[in-house]
Amino acid sequence: MPHCSPEQLALAALREPLPASDAAHLDGCAQCRAEVASLQRGVDVLAVPALAAPDSSVPPPPAVWAAIAAATGVHSAPRPEVVAGAGPAADTVAPPAPPPPQAERAAATVTPLRPRRSRLLLAAAAALVVGAGIGAGAVALRSGDDDGVAVAAAALDPLEGSGASGQARVVEQDGGLRVLEVDLTAPGLQDGFYEVWLIDEAVEAMVSVGVVQGGREVALPLPSGLDLGQYPVVDVSVEPLDGDPTHSGESVARGLLDT
């Protein structure tokens, strides 16, 4: 009869039951028994007595339940039958600590919005004065095409010698969806992007519409219910790649919609 396989010898060293044929061979084979005894020495050296005992349970340290309660917000203690089955040391297990009061919890970190720069206010005021005279009539409305009906338009004039300019128009498509079509002429950017905004005439509130690229016309959907009478100023800004969603204060072109 062949000797026991290494797998069966390892199971025997771990004191696991073997199939009847392997158990019978092990009883009568001195070579296999010697191999099992050699393996068992390593098992016994690495075994933790408290875990190796067949009928004893090892209770968790008292701090374990408290840590679980603090991390999960659980208020109830372990079930009595669970604690009772944890062995002689079960009565030393402390109930979970209650969560800290609301006032003691760490406040969430809130990143403040970057304040609008003063030059944004000055440039907006200047653009409104100039745009009232030339911005409204610079672009003729187009209507009746397959893309919808143009309901407002504006010429985008350069600010502070930026060299950027373009046109913008609001088109109402079938179904009532309004888009802001922007055709911007501006130099390319290496470390930023151009963003389009709609701003109120007092320059106190603004809505981000989307991102535009120089030399490419884009159609940006407008939020449903947005009152263009309250946000008639189309503004194009240069935004850095810093993850800040607020206006950078660096505008390159702006115009007034003739709503």
90 band by pLDDT with thresholds 50, 70 and 90: very low
Q: What pLDDT, on a 0 to 100 scale, did the predictor assign at position 133?
A: 41
Q: What pLDDT, on a 0 to 100 scale, did the predictor assign at position 81?
A: 56
Q: What pLDDT, on a 0 to 100 scale, did the predictor assign at position 34?
A: 85
CA atoms within 13 Å, Cβ hemisphere of 69: 16
Q: Which residues contact 137 (CB under 8 A, 6 or more apart)?
A: 258
Higher pLDDT, 84 or 202: 202
Instruction: Identify the weakest region by mean pLDDT among 109-113, 127-131, 175-179, 215-219.
Output: 109-113
Q: What pLDDT, on a 0 to 100 scale, did the predictor assign at position 76?
A: 62
Whether residue 50 is predicted with pLDDT greater than 60 in this model: the reply is no
Q: What pLDDT, on a 0 to 100 scale, did the predictor assign at position 4?
A: 86
In the predicted model, what is the mean pLDDT of residues 52-62?
57
Q: What pLDDT, on a 0 to 100 scale, did the predictor assign at position 93?
A: 47
Q: What pLDDT, on a 0 to 100 scale, did the predictor assign at position 206?
A: 92
Listed residue (70, 71, 11, 60) closest to 35, CA to CA: 11
**CA 241/CA 243 separation, integer angstroms:** 6
Q: What pLDDT, on a 0 to 100 scale, did the predictor assign at position 77?
A: 64
In the predicted model, what is the mean pLDDT of residues 153-170?
91
* Sheet architecture: strand order including 233-240: 206-212, 192-199, 233-240, 251-256, 149-158, 165-172, 178-185, 217-221
pTM over 0.75: no
Share of the chain above pLDDT 90, in %: 28
Whether residue 135 is predicted with pLDDT greater than 50 in this model: the reply is no
Domain 118-256 has CATH 3.30.70: no
Higher pLDDT, 28 or 56: 28
Share of the chain above pLDDT 70, in %: 62
DSSP sequence for the chain:
-PPPPHHHHHHHHTT----HHHHHHHHH-HHHHHHHHHHHHHHHHH--HHHH-TT---PPPHHHHHHHHHHH---SPPPHHHHHTT-GGGGGPPPPPPPPPGGGSPPPP-PPPPPPPHHHHHHHHHHHHHHHHHTTTSS----SBTTBEEEEEEEEEE-TT---EEEEEEEEPTTS-EEEEEEEE----SSEEEEEEEE-TTSS-EEEEEEE-TT-EEEEEPPTT--TTTS-EEEEEEEESSS--S--S-EEEEEE---
Higher pLDDT, 35 or 211: 211
- Angle at Cα 189 formed by Cα 186 and Cα 190, nearest 5°? 165
In the predicted model, what is the mean pLDDT of residues 89-114?
45
Q: What pLDDT, on a 0 to 100 scale, did the predictor assign at position 24?
A: 87
108 band by pLDDT with thresholds 50, 70 and 90: very low
Q: What pLDDT, on a 0 to 100 scale, did the predictor assign at position 210?
A: 93
Q: What pLDDT, on a 0 to 100 scale, did the predictor assign at position 146?
A: 53
**CA 38/CA 17 separation, integer angstroms:** 18
**CA 259/CA 136 separation, integer angstroms:** 9
Q: Where are the domains of the chain?
A: 6-47, 62-104, 118-256
Higher pLDDT, 23 or 80: 23
